[in-house]
Amino acid sequence: MLPPTIAWVDGRIELLDQTALPRVTTTSVATVDQLVDAIRRLVVRGAPALGAAGALGVALAARTVAAEELAAEAARIAAARPTAVNLEVGVRRALAAADDGPQAVLAAALVLMAEDVDSCRAVGDRGAALLRELCGPAPLRLHTHCNAGAAACVGIGTALGVVRALHEVGGVRYVVADETRPLLQGARITAVELGAMGVEHRLVVDGAGPSIIARGLVDAVVVGADRIAANGDVANKIGTYPLALAAARAGIPFLVAAPETTVDPATPDGAAIEIEERDPGEVLGTTAPHGSAAWNPAFDVTPADLVTAIVTDARTWRP
């Protein structure tokens, strides 16, 4: 299994470097500048893991900057990636303890991290129960996109937490995992986690995902989320929306698994979600001809009417 995604060790934040996977290496973060850079470069990624990074980042800042500078440093951390709401939630939770000193800020961050593990376990159990209700008791053929496993959280995972809970009772036949262009989180991370769990899986290019569903090779789609609007619209890794369309056409469940903290009541609908635009070089690489341009949105929005259910640690919501 992979080492912890994120931890507090001797006054520093230790991160599993997700840009290097499947090669396992860790990165030590000692300053807010280093943390912001790690978040932007996707050394740490995944909505729940970003929440933990935000909280620990405030704890780090509380120890290294003057008290009057803490709010500004916290704002810098929260703005490092705009789409995932958990980053801002983690920052806000830790900052609320600042009046009681740096140790209280750290304690608040560590509580948030423990809650994330419990939350993922509850999401997994709730999602597994719902899929068995919707699809029946036979082992399921599941499809997922990007990485919503332990590497995207403090532990266990959201969408892969559902897979894990089903697998523990013999409820998974196989999982189809999209590569997840352009940074291959599905190929580099999800496939590693599925293999470590002992789950049979197939890796496909993103463009093949909807066709695999259309051919009747999948019983349900289960994905994570980076922000869920008040009306049930869901922002997740780019390439999620086509899977939702394919699932609706095929008449199979499209399940979103996320902690309740990913639901953002302040965002009315998907149109209000800021979509992060990343470096075009991630798409162009070394293969595109000189002078080509690219769009590189990191996320897309799946409308609520394509979502069968959203399972959180607190509820099953059918928007």
Active centre residues (catalytic): 226
Pairing of strands 254-257, 220-223: parallel
Which residue in this structure is represented by tokens 């609007």?
229
Q: In what order do the strands lie in the sheet with 12-16?
A: 6-9, 12-16, 26-29
Please say whether the dihedral angle defined by the alpha carbons of residues 57, 59, 64 and 66, taken in this order, is positive or negative: positive
DSSP for 142-202 reads EEE-S--BGGGSSSSBSHHHHHHHHHTTT-EEEEEEE--TTTTHIIIIIHHHHHHHT--EE
CA distance 165 to 280: 38
Q: Which residue type does 75 have?
A: A
SS3 category, 54: helix
* Cα–Cα distance for residue pair 211/204, rounded to 1 Å: 10
Query: Could you tell me the CA-to-CA distances from 168 to 41, 88, 122, 159 in Å, in that order?
Result: 34, 33, 14, 15
Question: Across the strands, what pairs with 9?
Answer: 12
In angstroms, the CA 125 to CA 162 distance is: 6
Edge-to-edge strand list for the sheet holding 140-144: 201-204, 172-178, 140-144, 220-223, 254-257, 309-311, 316-317
CA dihedral 273, 278, 280, 284 (to 10 degrees): -110
